[in-house]
């Protein structure tokens, strides 16, 4: 079981690195979110299964940006309405990517719900 967990973490980490390459403007954001989420989770004394789920979800919470064209992700100015609408779809895209992956916890829903105002 520990070996499977290690492999899963390695794959999730590779996906996080891929997203940093795809969206250099926010590179490091997912790692900072993960560090903050884990600090809060430890203060809450979450069990190991929930800690792992939170770690995995926070590492890849922006994975849905894979569908957003790089010209929009890297645009230096303000986004127009259409561009912003495309950005706002990334939680749904991320959820859809992970809906069929059985993590035993609702990681796809965590990814989907990571924005409170979309």
| Mean pLDDT within 32-37 | 95
- What proportion of the chain, given as a percentage, has pLDDT over 70? 98
45-101 pLDDT, tens per residue?
Answer: 999 889 998 999 999 999 999 999 989 988 989 999 999 999 999 999 999 999 988
pTM for the full predicted model? 0.84
Q: How confident is the model at residue 103 (pLDDT cuts 50, 70, 90)?
A: confident
pLDDT at 118 over 70: no
Q: Print burial letters for 30-53: b (CB count within 10 Å at least 16), e (below 16).
A: beebbeebeeebeeeeeeeeebbb
Judge contact between 94 and 111, C-beta under 8 A. Answer: yes
pLDDT at 12 over 70: yes
- What proportion of the chain, given as a percentage, has pLDDT over 90? 62
Provide the greatest CA pair distance for the chain: 47
End-to-end CA distance of the chain: 37
Report the half-sphere exposure of 63 (CA within 13 A, side-chain side).
27
């Amino acid at each position: 079981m520990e070996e499977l967990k290690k492999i899963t973490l390695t794959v999730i980490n590779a996906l996080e690195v891929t997203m940093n390459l795809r969206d250099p403007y926010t590179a490091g954001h997912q790692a900072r979110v993960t560090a903050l989420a884990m600090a809060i989770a430890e203060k809450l004394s979450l069990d190991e299964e929930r800690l792992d789920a939170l770690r995995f979800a926070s590492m890849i919470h922006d994975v849905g940006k894979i569908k957003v064209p790089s010209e929009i992700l890297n645009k230096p100015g303000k986004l127009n309405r259409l561009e912003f609408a495309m950005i706002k779809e990334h939680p749904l895209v991320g959820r859809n990517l992970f809906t069929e992956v059985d993590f035993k916890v609702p990681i796809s829903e965590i990814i989907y719900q990571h924005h409170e105002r979309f």
